[in-house]
Amino acid sequence: MVIEKLASSCSCTKVKADKRIIPAGERGVVSGLFEFKGREGKQRISIKVGTSDGKTHSLTAFVEIPRTYVLSTRRVTWASSEMNPKAQTVHLVNVADKPIEIERAESSDPAFKAELKTVMPGYQYDLVVTPSSVAQLSRAIISISCKSDDKPLEYKVYAFVEK
């Protein structure tokens, strides 16, 4: 048998086979490495293997990644008609059993200012997002990075100026 195609349902999972050609009576190993950075809650990952006999074999894994931070919202919006747009605050609360510091918050667009305020170090933070203008439609992704012993954690908040 020949492995002709390997595919993952998500770019978060890298798949590989120890060999592409598997002689009759032998075994081969297909493995998947799931990168959970920035993910939480229930995840479903599938790996598909296409073989020379025309068949597609599937493996699906279900993973539950515990939450670390709960965000009051993941979306902040302003109307382009607003005369004086006010800052909006996203509250971040650590629900893990140990403190995890939030290191920084960065906006993908300088038209949105992202300021991180510490309420209780390791447990509570406020992300204050302010658009510099609402004169034109715009959007940004605010990336929030955490410092953890395990793996780096990242959260995203989406900011929009809409009609």
End-to-end CA distance of the chain: 57
Q: What mean pLDDT comes out for the span 75-85?
A: 91
**How far is Cα 122 from Cα 148, in angstroms, rounded to an integer?**
10
Task: Give the confidence band of 41 by pLDDT, cuts at 50, 70, 90.
Answer: confident
Question: What are the pLDDT digits (tens) for 42-66?
Answer: 889 999 999 999 999 998 989 888 7
CA dihedral 40→10→20→18, nearest 10 degrees, is -20
Question: What are the pLDDT digits (tens) for 5-25?
Answer: 999 998 889 999 999 999 989
H-assigned helices in the chain: none
Characterize the bridge pairing of strands 124-131 and 88-94.
antiparallel
110-145: buried (b, 16+ CB within 10 Å) or exposed (e) per residue?
A: ebbbbebeeeeeebebebebbbeebeeebebebbbb
Q: Kindly tell me if the per-residue pLDDT of 38 is higher than 70.
A: no
**How far is Cα 105 from Cα 142, in angstroms, rounded to an integer?**
6
